[in-house]
Homo-oligomer: A and B are copies of this chain.
Amino acid sequence: MWDVAEELGAMLVFAEHRYYGESMPFGQDSYKDAKHLNYLTSEQALADFAVLIRELKKTVPGAQDSPVVAIGGSYGGMLSAWMRMKYPNVVVGALAASAPIWQFTDMVPCSVFYKIVTEGFSRNGADCSDSIRKSWSAVDNVSSTEGGLKWLSNEFSLCSPLEKEDVLVFKAWLQETWVNLAMVNYPYEANFLQPLPRWPVQVACTYLQDSSLPDAPLLQGISKAVKMYYNYTGNTQCLRISETATGNLGYLGWYYQACTEMVMPMCTDGVQDMFEPQSWDFEAFSEECYGRFGARPRAQWAGTVYGGKDIGSHSNIVFSNGNLDPWSGGGVTQSFSSNLVAVVIQDGAHHLDLRFNNNYDPSSVLKARALELKYIKMWIEQHSLSNKAAAPCCL
């Protein structure tokens, strides 16, 4: 974005989503209860952006007739795509990077996400994903004794000793670690969720090369891989399983959104993926949401309001996805038309294309960025042509 902005003489605007960061509509009370959280919706966020853009055009000198392109990754990519769908008058086009707009009810199989996570590991050898697949029962076995719990706490350098009742949390924490590793499997050293080496999944897999190992040495490998994620810098004293790996990214806000309109069914079967089998249980999820927020999810709403798979009438959106990114499973990876375009980035993780250019970038992402720029320029050109055309056409 920075490179391209300079080339296009563009202003970059980073709009903060309501209820995140410093944008708290009710100050400290914003997360107090369902009543205060009620205005945390993607529709409201889109409306904010529409009003903001209008306001900027009115107040920034020279901006009045400037075309605006929405750019975002992940949820921000979803918002970018939806911004163009719902406010084509406000943005001339959108780059939706790693935007899983189809990760909602009845759009893709709930298994696709964890299947892609698994593939990210198994491409470094079947032993890698097999080791993880076998680790769950290994944890169960080892944690069944007091000595085993102590050994695990020590081996994983946990800040608080593992208790019997924490084992589920421990396993969920491991699972989230693998997910995040797959997401940020970048071809160079990076610090998106954590400081990490280049190709971190590959590095993790160097510790997971023999899935036939007995429980203890198997888990030692797991521990080394996990520490690579949490302690690549070597400065981390101990690991906290209560801290989610993405805890700093507005966890609670997204949890509320997932509990209302952003319902993303996920499931595992332990065969296509390397996780313990877990079916998608909407009722249980709904109960959890009600207990936590006093609000219940509306499973079908995202599909109704944002078109589901039926988005073919829209225009000027580029959907980019990396094939390594688990979120690509819920993304748009085939083009609908010449102006509703999908770009798949070989060897790309989560919105790699939005990152700065790097010497280690695979050629696929360079091509993707060039294509994205081509489309952005085309949208800008369309806009200046339509501004020139005073008389409406046809009839």
Chain A positions near chain B (C-beta within 8 angstroms): 47, 50-51, 54, 86-90, 300-301, 304-305, 307-308, 310-316, 334-338, 341-342, 386, 392-395
B313 and A395 within 8 A (CB): no
Shortest CB-to-CB span from A219 to chain B, Å, is: 45
A395 partner residues in chain B, CB cutoff 8 A = 334-335, 341-342
A394 partner residues in chain B, CB cutoff 8 A = 335-338, 341
A54 to B300 Cα, complex, angstroms: 9
Among candidates B51, B310, B342, residue contacting A89 with C-beta atoms closer than 8 Å: B310
Among residues of B, the one whose C-beta sits closest to the C-beta of A84 is B313
A342 partner residues in chain B, CB cutoff 8 A = 395
A312 partner residues in chain B, CB cutoff 8 A = 386
Among residues of B, the one whose C-beta sits closest to the C-beta of A58 is B300
- Looking at A314, A336, A386, A394, the one whose CB has the most chain B CB atoms below 10 A away is A394
A78 to B148 Cα, complex, angstroms: 68
Among residues of B, the one whose C-beta sits closest to the C-beta of A340 is B394
Among residues of B, the one whose C-beta sits closest to the C-beta of A92 is B313
B315 and A313 within 8 A (CB): yes
13 A-B residue contacts at CB 8 Å? A54-B304, A86-B86, A87-B304, A89-B304, A89-B313, A313-B316, A334-B392, A335-B394, A335-B395, A336-B392, A337-B393, A341-B395, A342-B395
A314 to B314 Cα, complex, angstroms: 8
One complex includes copies of this chain to the number of 2
3 A-B pairs with least C-beta separation: A89-B307, A335-B395, A89-B310
B304 and A50 within 8 A (CB): yes
- Looking at A311, A312, A316, the one whose CB has the most chain B CB atoms below 10 A away is A312
A51 to B304 Cα, complex, angstroms: 7
Shortest CB-to-CB span from A189 to chain B, Å, is: 32
B335 and A393 within 8 A (CB): yes
Shortest CB-to-CB span from A318 to chain B, Å, is: 11
Among residues of B, the one whose C-beta sits closest to the C-beta of A46 is B305
A316 partner residues in chain B, CB cutoff 8 A = 313
B47 and A305 within 8 A (CB): yes
A310 partner residues in chain B, CB cutoff 8 A = 88-89
Given A87-B307, A312-B386, output 11 extra A-B contacts at Cβ < 8 Å.
Answer: A47-B304, A50-B304, A54-B304, A88-B307, A88-B314, A89-B304, A89-B310, A89-B311, A313-B315, A341-B394, A342-B395
A334 to B389 Cα, complex, angstroms: 14
A311 to B54 Cα, complex, angstroms: 16
A301 partner residues in chain B, CB cutoff 8 A = 51
A51 to B393 Cα, complex, angstroms: 35
Shortest CB-to-CB span from A83 to chain B, Å, is: 12
A338 partner residues in chain B, CB cutoff 8 A = 394
Shortest CB-to-CB span from A22 to chain B, Å, is: 24
Among residues of B, the one whose C-beta sits closest to the C-beta of A47 is B305
A304 and B393 within 8 A (CB): no
Shortest CB-to-CB span from A65 to chain B, Å, is: 12
A87 partner residues in chain B, CB cutoff 8 A = 304-305, 307
Among residues of B, the one whose C-beta sits closest to the C-beta of A394 is B335
A51 partner residues in chain B, CB cutoff 8 A = 301, 304
A50 partner residues in chain B, CB cutoff 8 A = 304-305
A307 partner residues in chain B, CB cutoff 8 A = 87-89
B47 and A336 within 8 A (CB): no
A386 partner residues in chain B, CB cutoff 8 A = 312
Shortest CB-to-CB span from A372 to chain B, Å, is: 14
- Looking at A51, A305, A336, the one whose CB has the most chain B CB atoms below 10 A away is A305
